[in-house]
A and B are shown apart, each in its own frame.
Chain A
Amino acid sequence: MSQDDRYSLAVAAFGPALQRLVRSFEADADQRRDLLQEIHLELWRSLEVFEEKCSLRTWVYRVAHNVYASHVLRRRRLNYAGSASLDELADAPNRSNPEVIAGEQQAVAWLHQTIQRLKPPDAQVMCLYLEDIDANEIAEIVGISPGAVATRIHRIKTILARMFQNGGPDDT
């Protein structure tokens, strides 16, 4: 299979996931467009050396996450001081909030905002969890142990359960 064929296959299978990922990681619309373009370019380039040592999906997500990292690092500093970890979000007191996540669009918007607030590895795990990728594959993509991924997923489930059972985002 040629590089172009592999790229077309990857885009057909994971193009929508790449759009969701970019939406989660980049709030600015112009930056989002540039980032998606960069990901496609790097994906096509990288597929020249794809040897099926990992699944095409793992490969695509790795490239996308790494392009995102270098995109952020090139344009500005990682806003590390202002971001939160999953532990901080999960342990934060759940303030009562009259606002209810009333529809799917609101839920998705809240998820994007939450992912943008998280520190990079936590944001990636949450994004991949929402894409329904299992802990072992997330570990392969992010480069942390499956145990560390499982712990993070547990935290994510706590945050999501609290949010969608109690009916509103806390503003910690």
Chain B
Amino acid sequence: MTPKSEKHDIKAIWGAQAVEPNLVTVERIRADADKFQSAVRRRNRVEYAALVFVIAVFGAYIWIFPTPLMRLGSLLIIAAAIFMIVRIHFRASANPIPSHQSFMDYIARYREELRRQQSALRTVWLWYLAPWVPGIGVFTIGINQLLKHMLGNRAPFWPIALVMVAMVGVFAGVLILNVGGSRRLQRKIHELDRLLAS
């Protein structure tokens, strides 16, 4: 048994814990930091590339398709894609929370950040889905118009209905995922509120 005097020197016991030699080198840290930055850049590049592809395709449609509605729809879709590119740019340049502030300040900033993210998820219909609606709507009406022009009354409605159902399905899926994410963030915010109040 440990003698009582030693037992009392609890800080000395604490400080005497065996520790492993530090194997983390500056080179490895730099490599990890680069890896993380590369992953972020890759994600942004994929999103930019997808949006540039949308712009290129609908830019071509402006020349290819004859009806004004399809051209207008293409223009509106291009505008939505440009809006998304601007949003990604601002997201990429957002400042991270400084980790060298006191714990309670850090938690307060972390809470603000969660609140901002939650607000973004809750309003995803407004900034992520709504910008596409006018373009897709006008473009779809334009397709309908073109089909009627080409086939007259024999023009089938089902291709239009299929596009609309697919779009509603995708939009509903995005909304459901984001509402779930927003609720998870809300629970974290409640936890932080309790922590900050203690």
Contacts and interface: CB of A to CB of B under 8 A. Distances in A.
Contacts of A143: 101-106
Nearest to B6: A104
B19 to A, nearest CB: 4
B195 A62 contact: no
Nearest to A7: B26
A151 interface: no
Nearest to B8: A164
Interface residues of B, number: 40
A144 B108 CA distance: 13
B7 A144 contact: no
A15 B22 contact: yes
A16 B24 CA distance: 12
A134 interface: no
Interface in A67-108: 67, 69-70, 73, 77-78, 80, 85, 100-104, 107-108
A20 B19 contact: yes
B198 A121 contact: yes
A65 B14 contact: no
B94 interface: no
A50 B195 CA distance: 28
B85 to A, nearest CB: 28
B87 interface: no
A27 interface: no
Contact of B198 (A49, A59, A85, A160): A85
Interface string A26-41: 0000000000110011
Contacts of B15: 20, 130-132
B194 A80 contact: yes
Contacts of A142: 102-104
B61 interface: no
B99 A62 contact: yes
A117 interface: no
Contacts of A80: 191, 194-195
A20 B17 CA distance: 8
B190 to A, nearest CB: 9
Interface in A1-48: 4, 7-8, 11, 15-16, 19-20, 23, 36-37, 40-42, 44-46
A120 B195 contact: yes
A135 interface: no
Contacts of A141: 102-103
A59 B29 contact: no
Contacts of B150: none
24 contacts: A4-B26, A37-B24, A44-B33, A49-B98, A59-B100, A62-B102, A63-B100, A69-B103, A69-B106, A73-B110, A73-B192, A77-B188, A78-B195, A80-B191, A103-B1, A104-B16, A107-B13, A121-B103, A129-B11, A130-B14, A130-B15, A143-B103, A143-B104, A144-B104
Given A44-B33, A100-B1, 8 more contacts: A45-B99, A49-B98, A62-B102, A77-B187, A130-B10, A141-B103, A143-B102, A164-B7
Interface of B: 1-2, 6-8, 10-11, 13-17, 19-20, 22, 24, 26, 29-30, 32-33, 36, 98-107, 110, 187-188, 191-192, 194-195, 198
- List of 9 A-B pairs having minimum Cβ-Cβ separation, nearest first: A143-B102, A143-B104, A16-B19, A130-B14, A66-B106, A44-B29, A66-B99, A78-B191, A19-B19
